[in-house]
A = this chain, B = another copy of it.
Amino acid sequence: MDAMPEARTLRVDAERNRRRLLDAALELFSERGLDVGVGEIAARAGVGRGTLFRNFASKEDLIAAIVGERMREAAASGRELLDAPDPEEALFEFLQQMVGQQQSDRALFDAVHDTFLANSEIAAAYAELVGVIEQLVARAQAAGVVRADLGALDLIVMVKGLCEAATALHHVNPHIAERQLDLVRAALRPAAATEPLRGRPPTIDDFKRAFPAPGAAAGAAKAS
């Protein structure tokens, strides 16, 4: 397999523009939230507005591309922790990292559980991340330091929620995320499991059904 085909003539410029747009957008979103205009993003990237829409079908797609990148980075960082000696510390170290990341890119992640899981790029990156967390949880459960009836997605729901609510207060009470993580830790301790959790653990299929990809409707496809 002869790897990458030779670089196409002008494609290198296009690729550089795409990169610049992603970087400019991340900067502006982090500074001032998701409602910065596309014109300003294009300006900071040093390109015209049309170029933004040549690279990304919509502003929402631009955001999805950034979120997807961050998720793949998080999954990579979690995989490294699978080699750490202490399964309990490994799990909570990873959670702490996720919280930290979401605090710095708050506006970006706010939208993830809302609408963006419908985006196929994000959905794939998310499944990868969930897989890593499942392994971290399973390892901690095997070591007997986390209650056995907890699903990885139970934990994700907790932490995702905690991030959104705690981040707003971070700059006036910087230890609030740590407190919340301490409470999560207390919740997961086997000694605290005096009664089983109600219902069943959420699954990745739950998420897929909650955020169906557009155009993937079930039933007979009617010609239109």
Contacts and interface: CB of A to CB of B under 8 A. Distances in A.
Contacts of A114: 110, 168
**Total copies of this chain within the assembly:** 2
A154 interface: yes
A171 interface: yes
Interface string A161-182: 1111110110111111011101
A179 B197 contact: yes
Interface of A: 110, 113-114, 147, 150, 154, 156-158, 160-166, 168-169, 171-176, 178-180, 182-184, 186-189, 191-195, 197-203, 206-207, 209-211
A174 B173 CA distance: 34
Contacts of A158: 161-162, 165, 180, 183
Contacts of A182: 195, 197-198
B157 A176 contact: yes
